[in-house]
Structure 1
Amino acid sequence: MNSDKPLIEINNLIKTYRMAGEAVPVLKDISFTIHQGEFVAIIGPSGSGKSTLMNMLGCLDIPSSGSYLLDGQEISQMTDNQQAYIRNQKIGFIFQSFNLLNKLSALENVELPLIYRNISMKSRRALATEALINVGLGERLHHKPNQLSGGQQQRVAIARALAGNPPILLADEPTGALDTQTGKEILQMLHELNEKGHTIIIITHDPAIANQARRCIRIQDGEITEDQEVVHS
């Protein structure tokens, strides 16, 4: 499933924040590549830099120095508007807290990213409906988040991430707010999406979640300490 050309290419990436006039390095000379169709976990404890790295991968922030190529495009030199366009086209986000709008139905929540693509109402409704059916919520299209269980809300979030068919799904602690059984179901869904060709990147602090991936990148104190294939028995 992997192609020769990397989908994501990170080279010598450094991120430094200024706090109280002092330079605080958060990411220190990070380099790695991810190919189309991989299932990768980025794991590290709180304060390791994994959230900052996620923001870089998701085009939510740019590095202080170094290079980030996404599908051959240099992200680190882009304007905010250019990054927003790339996020909308290339990346589907799945968050621990679901990030659904409570006043909107499941269908309307899934439609939201498609509005910014200037897709017609009829087309985006069809795409959103299909995405919800694909995650098993065809009977819940018009339910609002407070009428859904946590697992169902996360399925809506996955449908929203999938509706525009982005090549990358970036999942930040996607099972963190769910019970164990529901978490397993969400991870199984991510496996199935990976088998269909989506590149999955999970950000987690939990080794049990990381072990579900096919490759694990461990980050500690802003540096990669390990990058290896996960062996499944």
Structure 2
Amino acid sequence: MKEPIIQIKKMKKIYELGGETVMALQEISLDIRKGDFISIIGPSGSGKSTFMNMIGCLDRPDSGEYLLDGEEVGKMKSSQLAVIRNEKIGFIFQNFNLLVKLTAIENVELPLIYRGMKADERRKAALEALQKVGLVDRANHLPTQLSGGQQQRVAIARALAGSPPILLADEPTGALDSKTSKEILKIIHSLNKQGHTIILITHDLEVAEQASRVVRIQDGQLYEDGGVIFASGENGIKEH
């Protein structure tokens, strides 16, 4: 059995909203193993976005542990979290988040600039990433010259360029039609087969069921195969 790349233990997150205390995450625990393709599904207000921010090192838990590739990241400083995000996690967003004045290849190169990679190395890595999503022939096109599906493929290439072990996809098909959505999911499946750990956040059950593991989040608790994933380890995660 492969080692966990993510270990979450009794993670809790509380917000104060309008004078009320909201328990966004209720001491949840979850192991995600290297090479997993897992979907996290839940409606608005379920804690899905909060959980995504925790996994993506965009926020910190109030208590509990978060180990990413064996490192405790839950208590890291913002500067340390920025490095983790850049090296360990590739982000794919619903609305692509491409810079409109940059070409496809320039968008893909962006995270590599922050790594301090040399220009020729950046260009080579970006071209290889665009090749993986079948978009090398559009490398010098601006986002406005690309279809929605092509823009999302550029976004996937950008996530891939630094070869992160984890791809975190937040509603990656939410802005696409059904035909294009299937094409994007096919690419994501291919990347999983190449060894990337995929974490897909969605509200769409049909999309969620593309994953080999489906975890539901509701009222800040996690459920897999109908059972609560308890922080204590009871009803432990069932492997598919």
TM-score greater than 0.5 by the shorter chain: yes
Match of 1:206 in 2: 204
Q: Is the aligned partner of 1:15 residue 2:18?
A: no
Query: 1:145-160 to 2 correspondence within 5 Å?
Result: 145-160=143-158
Tell me how far 1:21 sits from its aligned partner: 3.8
**Letter aligned with residue 199 of structure 2:** I
Match of 1:31 in 2: 29
Q: Is the aligned partner of 1:113 residue 2:111?
A: yes
Q: Summarize deviations over 1:56-90 as a string: whole Å, max 9, x none.
A: 00000000111000000011110000000000000
Distance (whole Å) between structure 1 residues aligned to residue 175 and residue 182 of structure 2: 12
Distance (whole Å) between structure 2 residues aligned to residue 112 and residue 214 of structure 1: 31
TM-score under structure 2 normalisation? 0.93
- Number of corresponding residues: 229
Kept after mapping to 2: 8 A contact 1:214/1:230: no
Kept after mapping to 2: 8 A contact 1:13/1:28: yes
Distance (whole Å) between structure 2 residues aligned to residue 22 and residue 210 of structure 1: 32
**Letter aligned with residue 66 of structure 2:** Y
Instruction: Pick the aligned partner of 1:193 from 191, 194, 212.
Output: 191
Distance (whole Å) between structure 2 residues aligned to residue 158 and residue 169 of structure 1: 9
Unaligned runs of 5+ in 2: 226-236
Distance (whole Å) between structure 2 residues aligned to residue 203 and residue 79 of structure 1: 25
Distance (whole Å) between structure 2 residues aligned to residue 110 and residue 31 of structure 1: 34
Tell me how far 1:187 sits from its aligned partner: 0.2
Q: Summarize deviations over 1:160-186 as a string: whole Å, max 9, x none.
A: 000000000000000000010000000
Kept after mapping to 2: 8 A contact 1:114/1:163: yes
Query: 1:56-67 to 2 correspondence within 5 Å?
Result: 56-67=54-65
Percent identity reads 62
CA RMSD of aligned residues (A): 1.3
Distance (whole Å) between structure 2 residues aligned to residue 139 and residue 230 of structure 1: 40
Distance (whole Å) between structure 2 residues aligned to residue 51 and residue 82 of structure 1: 22
Match of 1:126 in 2: 124
**Letter aligned with residue 133 of structure 1:** Q
Kept after mapping to 1: 8 A contact 2:28/2:221: yes
Match of 2:79 in 1: 81
TM-score under structure 1 normalisation? 0.95
Distance (whole Å) between structure 1 residues aligned to residue 239 and residue 130 of structure 2: 31
Distance (whole Å) between structure 2 residues aligned to residue 159 and residue 226 of structure 1: 31
Distance (whole Å) between structure 1 residues aligned to residue 123 and residue 223 of structure 2: 44
Unaligned runs of 5+ in 1: none
Distance (whole Å) between structure 1 residues aligned to residue 97 and residue 41 of structure 2: 22
